[in-house]
C-alpha cells in the first residue's frame, strides 16, 4: 500500500607457517567511524550481521515518509531500489520496455540475464495512489544476499507517472500476506522460506527518524539490538480473511488519555500495519474526531511539543504515540523546515492504517508462521558525541 500522504571468506594455506609483518597506523575518530560503516555495509551485502545472525537489508529514509532498500534481479545482478511494502504482496520493477518510466531509473533488461525464463502472463496492480501494469517474468531474485532461484516478479511496462515518476525508488517488493498477491504469484518471503533460504516466515522492521541511518529489515526473525522491551503480540484479525492485509484489532483510541470512542465494541478499530504508507490513516468520522482533538499543527513547528499524546490499545496494551512521531517534518523548496500532521482521513473503507509514524516508534515483527504481529519500543539512536 503506497503512501497516501503526500526495504565469510576463509583463506588457508597447507603445511608451512607463514609470518606476515604488520604495520599499525592509528586511525582518527572519523576514520574509525567510516571503517565501522564499511564493515556494517559489507555484512549487510553478505546477508548477515558480522556475528553470523539473521540476514538484513539496510533501508534508506527519505524525510520519514519513504523507506526503501536494494533488490537484485538476474545474472549478473541488475540492482533496483524498492519499497519493502507490507501493504502489498507482489514484486515489480520497471522493464527496459517501459513506455513512461522515469528516464534515469533502473530498468530490468531480460537480454542481459543468463537466468531469465519467460512467463508472459499479464499483470496489473492498483495501489491507493497509483497503478502499474506489465507482465510476469522469472529470474534469480536476490535480497539480503539470499538468491531465490526462478523467482516470479512483474516487469512493469506502464506506470502512474505522476506517482512513481519522481519517486526515489524504482519499484515495490510486497511483504504482505500471500492471499493478497495479484495472480496468486508467490511472495518473495514465501519463496525464501520454500527454498530454505530462511527458516521462518518472520520479518521485522526498524525505521529510523529524521533521516538518520540505521533503518533495517531483518528476515527470518528479529534483532534484539533494535528494541528495548519485550514484544507484545496481536493475532491477525478474522477480518483479514475478507481483506487480506496484516490486520490487527484495536480496542480503543485515546487522545491525551481520554477515549475517543472510535473503536466499536465488536469489530473494534481494524488496523492495517503497513510500512508502505507514510502516514497514519483513519476512516470517516473516526478521523474527524481524532483530528479535532489533536488540533492544528503550526507550519513553523512552534506548537509540536504542546500537542497531545495519541494512544492505540492493541490486544490489551496501550501504545502511546507522541507528536514527535505523528508530526512530519519536511523541507520546503528553500530548505526551511515545515511541519504537518502525519494523520489523514481515509475515505471509502472502514480501516485504519498504522503507517510509518507508528512504526518509527515501535519495532515491529510480522510473524506469518503464527499469524500475528508484534510491537516493541524501538531503540532510539543516542545523540552523536563529538570527541
Write the burial class of residue 184 (CB in 10 Å: 0-12 exposed, 13-18 middle, 19+ buried). Answer: exposed
Handedness of CA 363, 173, 356, 68 (dihedral sign): positive
Rounded Cα gap, residues 79 and 280, in angstroms: 31
Q: Enumerate the β-bridge partners of residue 321.
A: 310
**How far, in Å, CA of 155 to CA of 150, rounded?**
14
One of 85, 170, 223, 356 is an active-site residue; which one? 85
With H, G, I as helix, E, B as strand and everything else as coil, classify residue 292: helix
Cis-peptide, bond into residue 19, ω within 30° of zero: no
**Per annotation, catalytic residue among 64, 139, 274, 356:** 274
Residue 85 among the catalytic residues = yes
| Residue 223 annotated among the catalytic residues of the structure | no
Instruction: Please check whether residue 7 is in contact with residue 69, taking contact to mean a CB–CB distance below 8 angstroms.
Output: yes
State the sign of the Cα–Cα–Cα–Cα dihedral 232, 238, 240, 243.
Answer: negative
| Residue in this structure with the C-alpha cell 496501550, named with its chain if needed | 318
| Catalytic residue set | 85, 274
Amino acid at each position: 500500500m503506497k503512501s497516501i500522504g503526500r526495504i565469510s571468506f576463509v583463506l588457508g594455506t597447507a603445511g608451512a607457517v607463514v609470518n606476515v609483518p604488520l604495520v599499525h597506523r592509528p586511525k582518527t575518530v572519523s576514520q574509525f567511524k567510516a571503517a565501522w560503516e564499511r564493515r556494517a555495509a559489507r555484512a549487510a551485502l553478505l546477508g548477515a550481521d558480522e556475528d553470523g545472525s539473521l540476514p538484513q537489508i539496510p533501508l534508506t529514509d527519505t524525510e520519514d515518509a519513504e523507506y526503501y532498500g536494494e533488490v537484485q534481479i538476474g545474472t549478473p545482478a541488475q540492482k533496483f531500489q524498492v519499497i519493502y511494502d507490507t501493504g502489498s504482496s507482489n514484486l515489480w520493477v520497471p522493464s527496459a520496455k517501459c513506455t513512461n518510466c522515469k528516464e534515469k531509473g533502473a530498468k530490468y533488461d531480460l537480454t542481459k540475464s543468463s537466468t531469465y525464463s519467460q512467463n508472459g502472463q499479464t499483470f496489473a496492480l492498483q495501489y491507493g495512489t497509483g497503478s502499474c501494469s506489465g507482465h510476469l517474468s522469472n529470474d534469480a531474485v536476490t535480497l539480503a544476499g539470499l538468491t531465490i532461484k526462478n523467482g516470479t516478479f512483474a516487469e512493469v511496462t506502464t506506470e502512474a507517472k505522476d506517482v512513481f515518476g519522481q519517486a526515489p525508488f524504482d519499484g515495490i517488493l510486497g511483504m504482505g500476506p500471500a492471499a493478497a498477491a495479484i495472480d496468486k504469484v508467490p511472495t518473495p518471503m514465501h519463496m525464501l522460506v520454500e527454498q530454505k533460504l530462511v527458516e521462518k516466515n518472520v520479518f521485522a522492521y526498524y525505521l529510523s527518524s529524521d533521516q538518520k541511518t540505521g533503518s533495517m529489515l531483518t528476515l527470518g526473525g528479529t534483532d534484539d539490538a533494535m528494541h528495548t522491551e519485550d514484544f507484545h503480540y496481536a493475532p491477525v484479525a478474522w477480518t483479514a480473511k475478507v481483506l487480506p492485509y496484516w490486520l490487527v484489532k484495536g480496542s480503543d483510541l485515546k487522545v491525551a488519555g481520554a477515549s475517543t470512542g472510535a473503536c466499536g465494541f465488536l469489530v473494534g478499530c481494524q488496523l492495517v500495519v503497513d510500512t508502505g504508507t507514510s502516514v497514519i490513516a483513519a476512516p470517516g468520522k473516526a478521523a474527524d474526531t481524532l483530528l479535532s482533538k489533536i488540533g492544528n499543527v503550526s507550519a513553523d513547528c512552534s506548537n509540536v511539543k504542546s500537542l497531545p499524546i495519541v494512544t492505540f490499545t492493541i490486544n490489551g496494551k496501550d501504545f502511546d504515540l507522541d507528536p514527535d512521531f505523528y508530526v512530519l517534518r519536511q523541507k520546503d523548496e528553500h530548505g526551511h523546515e515545515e511541519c504537518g500532521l502525519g494523520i489523514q482521513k481515509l475515505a471509502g473503507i472502514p480501516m485504519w492504517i498504522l503507517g510509518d509514524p507508528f512504526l518509527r516508534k515501535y519495532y515491529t515483527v510480522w510473524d506469518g508462521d503464527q499469524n500475528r504481529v508484534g510491537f516493541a519500543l524501538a531503540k532510539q539512536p543516542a545523540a552523536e558525541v563529538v570527541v
